[in-house]
DNA sequence: CTGAAAGCGCTTACAG
DNA sequence: CTGAAAGCGCTTACAG
């Protein structure tokens, strides 16, 4: 491996001068820099990251931790984050939740973005003790000094979805829950309930799912294809998709027999039943805002500790006015 | 930051003994290890990765470089790779193509998996000079000592697809190319042509696309909805999907009026037209085989320099026997 | 403008 | 069984 020593020897300068030149220090005249750069290039010298990181106490790497890639996850967020980070001096590194603990503790990264529930709070607290900024996505902030939280506006989204079903004139409206107790599900149910309650005559039904496609599918099976409601708001798209698949098997027409709304506007939702009505999030924008805030924090700027990401109703082909 | 020195001081042992104990050396009695571990835990000591990497000349990180996340990329490969790596002492790190050069040169990783054309050959050669194993996916091997290549069996897949169309009795069969000159496209066209040629009476038509959905869509537009062929093999699913969308707009029924086959079996293909007929790849298995071979190489074992990943025809709802 | 030297936090022969 | 010391490859006050 060629080290800075080799460049020093070959160029006739000292190690310090080579280091200064290569890091573009003001104290080195351009001619010297040119000579040293030429030698470095000829020798194909590249600094050893471990040595540099050890000395600098920083890595210029930003860790982005996720659960996995299969399933309709939020790919556009990654690209939104990446587009911003890639234009900075930092480098984006993705890894799975189980690596977060190690990479944070061992200081392999300067900051983290965490988008998976699997990372324990204790890990985030450890990062905070190290002074490492952590951005948590769609997860409640723990109040730590260096922790920031960007969340989808689940409440508003669920309100829009439910209101749409109410406006369509359905009399009995169901909610298919995600994992009960999760922040996201709590918010979505709360909004659903609030809207239904403020419309006296409408009946509310609640079923329990777990955010997976199969839990949506299974609901139709459990009901044996006889749906005691005219519309359903599923706490996410995957369940809505499963639910619609179930309907197909029982010959239930969407949206003629039943209106279905999801949440998230995942990639595949446009292909479901000619388009799933859902709550849309500008994921790319969400990601780039997170990334920009993160860069600002690393830059010593002040940034809001909590942000909410706006959502909107995206009407497509799975909801319909009730034929009265 | 708490360092090994702090643990040494607090435990009453020397830095060397602490290091040996924490690394589970045989020379340290269990009682000593226990005492030192207890102190390390109480102090929340975790080794600094940069220092360890500098000394060890390795990082235990494996880099996986990709183009981006949007579009129907091969998520299952990532999970296949990850499932194997996560059960080893190594850690998987994903990053974008533009970071590959730096991370390889600066030795931030011990090995690389490259799944994007954007990484130049020179970078791979540099890794080879460093003795760093590199696995390239669906890309021609450059013959370097430490470079391994795992490729989809494009030729066989294209042969299966074309043969299916021939067996259905179509008389004029088209090929919609990907980027001409790319290895993948060359192979797929070669197979297409071989099959057509060996069936004397069938006519071959070739159109040029670029692997994007819009290039499939535009073909229908260019032909103004009048298709001078009865079946088409598109060099990938995205183009097939675009093509089918184009057909819908012109009122052309798939598969009644035209048979369409894609290649890759991307996630969304199951939702297209009741299911796109395509060439399927067991991506999870592909990924886990790559990862296993990589671990074997890092373990000093001998491994095939080139491997081909099998494919199979997946019949769904976009091809149909010609009504004669 | 340039260089000698200290030090980042580890690991590991080596000596005892 | 344990410790003193060298060294991994950089950066950066400091001195001249």
Does the residue A181 lie in any domain? yes
Does the residue B271 lie in any domain? yes
pLDDT in tens, A209-241: 999 999 999 999 999 999 999 999 999 999 999
DSSP string for residues in A47-68 = --HHHHHHHHT---EEEEEES-
Say yes or no: B144 and B165 in one domain: no
Is pLDDT of A267 > 90?
no
Residue A175 CA: distances (Å) to CA of B145, B148, B312:
59, 51, 41
Full domain range(s) for residue B241 = 154-280
How far does CA B129 lie from the centroid of its chain? Answer: 24
Rounded CA separation A162/B133 (Å) = 54
Does the residue B318 lie in any domain? no
Strand D within 7 A of A307 CB: no
pLDDT of residue B242: 96
Partnered with residue A136 across adjacent β-strands are A114, A149
Rounded CA separation B181/B210 (Å) = 11
Rounded CA separation B32/B26 (Å) = 12
pLDDT of residue B70: 63
Q: Is B250 exposed, middle or buried (0-12, 13-18, 19+ CB in 10 A)?
A: middle
* CATH code of B80's domain: 3.40.50.2300
Inter-chain Cβ pairs, chain A and chain B, closer than 8 A:
112
Q: Is A280 helix (H, G, I), strand (E, B) or coil?
A: strand
Can you list the alpha helix ranges (DSSP code H) found in A223-282?
237-249
Rounded CA separation A242/A217 (Å) = 4
Set of chain B residues whose Cβ sits within 8 Å of the Cβ of A102 = 91
pLDDT in tens, A270-283: 888 889 999 998 88
Q: What angle do CA A220, A224, A229 make, to 5 degrees?
A: 60
pLDDT of residue B224: 95
Rounded CA separation B61/B55 (Å) = 15
Backbone angles phi, psi at B91, to 5 degrees: -130, 135
pLDDT of residue A72: 56
Say yes or no: A262 and A163 in one domain: yes
Q: What is the tally of structural domains in chain A?
A: 3
pLDDT of residue B324: 60
Q: Tell whether B2 lies on the interface with A, counting CB pairs under 8 A.
A: no
Does the residue B259 lie in any domain? yes
The encoded tokens of residue A79 equal 């690209």
Partnered with residue A150 across adjacent β-strands are A137, A307
* H/E segment holding residue B61: strand B61-66
Residues 135-164 of B with CB under 8 A from A: none
Higher-confidence position of A266 and B209:
B209
- Give just the sign of the alpha carbon dihedral A278, A279, A282, A286: negative
Can you list the alpha helix ranges (DSSP code H) found in chain B?
4-11, 15-22, 30-43, 49-56, 75-85, 97-105, 121-129, 154-167, 183-197, 213-222, 237-249, 283-298
- Give the position of tokens 């859902």: A278
- Give just the sign of the alpha carbon dihedral A311, A312, A316, A320: positive
Say yes or no: A16 and A68 in one domain: no
Contact B69 A91 (CB under 8 A): no
The fraction of chain A above a pLDDT of 90, given in percent, is 76
Question: How many helices and strands, by DSSP H and E, does chain A display?
Answer: 12, 12
Residues in chain B: 324
Is pLDDT of A208 > 60?
yes
Nearest CA in chain A to B123: A44
The fraction of chain A above a pLDDT of 70, given in percent, is 98
pLDDT of residue B317: 94
Contact B102 A91 (CB under 8 A): yes
Does the residue B262 lie in any domain? yes
pLDDT in tens, A194-206: 999 999 899 999 9
Contact A68 B49 (CB under 8 A): no
pLDDT tens, N- to C-terminus, chain B (324 residues): 899 999 999 999 999 999 999 998 888 889 999 999 999 999 999 999 999 999 999 999 999 998 877 655 567 888 899 999 999 999 999 998 889 999 999 999 999 999 887 888 989 999 998 899 999 998 887 788 999 999 999 999 999 999 999 999 999 999 999 999 988 999 999 999 999 999 988 999 999 999 999 999 999 999 999 999 999 999 999 999 999 999 999 999 999 999 999 999 988 888 888 899 999 988 889 999 999 999 999 998 999 999 999 999 999 999 999 876
Strand C within 7 A of B5 CB: yes
Say yes or no: A186 and A264 in one domain: yes
Reported confidence tier of residue A7, pLDDT bands at 50, 70, 90: very high
Rg (C-alpha) for chain B, rounded Å, is: 26
Backbone angles phi, psi at B27, to 5 degrees: -80, -5
Determine contact, residues B153/B208, Cβ cutoff 8 Å: no
Average pLDDT, chain A: 92
> Could you give the dihedral angle defined by the CA atoms of residues A64, A69, A73 and A77, in that order, rounded to the nearest 10 degrees?
30
Contact A82 B96 (CB under 8 A): yes
Say yes or no: A275 and A185 in one domain: yes
Say yes or no: B219 and B200 in one domain: yes
Say yes or no: B167 and B134 in one domain: no
pLDDT of residue B71: 57
Residues sharing a CB contact under 8 Å with residue B316, sequence separation 6 or more, in sequence order: B269, B270, B274, B275, B276, B277, B278
Does the residue A81 lie in any domain? yes
Rounded CA separation B99/A159 (Å) = 42
Determine contact, residues A54/B51, Cβ cutoff 8 Å: yes
Rounded CA separation B71/B309 (Å) = 22
pLDDT of residue B73: 58
* pLDDT mean over A257-275: 91
pLDDT of residue B271: 85
Say yes or no: A207 and A241 in one domain: yes
Q: Is A45 helix (H, G, I), strand (E, B) or coil?
A: coil
Determine contact, residues A191/A159, Cβ cutoff 8 Å: yes
Is pLDDT of A254 > 80?
yes
Does the residue B269 lie in any domain? yes
Say yes or no: A75 and A160 in one domain: no
Does the residue A106 lie in any domain? yes
Q: Which nucleotide is nearest to B17 (CA to C1')?
A: D2
Partnered with residue A311 across adjacent β-strands are A281
Say yes or no: B158 and B253 in one domain: yes
Determine contact, residues A281/A270, Cβ cutoff 8 Å: no
pLDDT of residue A39: 93
Q: Tell whether B102 lies on the interface with A, counting CB pairs under 8 A.
A: yes
Determine contact, residues A279/A157, Cβ cutoff 8 Å: yes
Say yes or no: A9 and A32 in one domain: yes
Higher-confidence position of A253 and B200:
A253
Q: Is A251 helix (H, G, I), strand (E, B) or coil?
A: coil
Say yes or no: A127 and A100 in one domain: yes
The encoded tokens of residue A201 equal 């005559």
Q: Are strands A61-66 and A111-114 parallel, antiparallel or unpaired?
A: parallel
pLDDT of residue A70: 63
Tell me which protein residue sits closest to nucleotide C3, measuring alpha carbon to C1'. A14
């Amino acid at each position: 491996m060629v080290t800075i020593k080799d460049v020093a020897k070959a160029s006739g300068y000292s190690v310090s001068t080579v280091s200064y030149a290569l890091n573009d220090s003001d104290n080195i005249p351009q001619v010297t820099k040119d000579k040293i750069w030429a030698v470095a290039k000829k020798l194909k010298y590249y600094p050893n990251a471990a040595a540099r990181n050890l000395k600098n106490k920083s890595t210029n790497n930003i860790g982005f931790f996720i659960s996995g890639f299969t399933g309709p996850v939020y790919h556009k967020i990654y690209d939104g984050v990446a587009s911003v980070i890639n234009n900075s001096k930092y480098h984006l590194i993705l890894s799975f939740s189980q690596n977060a603990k190690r990479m944070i503790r061992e200081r392999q990264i300067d900051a983290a973005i965490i988008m998976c529930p699997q990372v324990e709070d204790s890990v985030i607290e450890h990062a905070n003790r190290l002074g490492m900024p952590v951005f948590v996505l769609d997860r409640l902030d723990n109040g730590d000094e260096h922790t920031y939280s960007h969340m989808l506006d689940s409440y508003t989204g669920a309100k829009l979805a439910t209101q749409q079903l109410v406006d369509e004139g359905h009399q009995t409206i169901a909610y298919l829950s995600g994992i009960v107790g999760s922040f996201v599900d709590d918010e979505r149910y709360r909004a659903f309930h609030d809207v239904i309650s403020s419309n006296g005559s409408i009946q509310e039904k609640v079923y329990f799912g777990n955010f997976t496609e199969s839990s949506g599918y299974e609901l139709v099976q459990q009901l044996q294809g006889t749906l005691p409601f005219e519309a359903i708001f599923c706490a996410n798209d995957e369940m809505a998709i499963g639910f619609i698949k179930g309907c197909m098997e029982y010959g239930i027409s969407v949206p003629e027999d039943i209106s279905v709304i999801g949440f998230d506007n995942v990639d595949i939702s446009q292909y479901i039943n000619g388009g799933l009505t859902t709550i849309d999030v500008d994921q790319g924008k969400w990601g780039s805002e997170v990334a920009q805030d993160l860069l600002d924090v690393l830059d010593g700027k002040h940034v809001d500790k909590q942000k909410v990401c706006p959502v909107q109703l995206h009407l497509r082909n799975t909801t319909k006015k009730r034929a009265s």
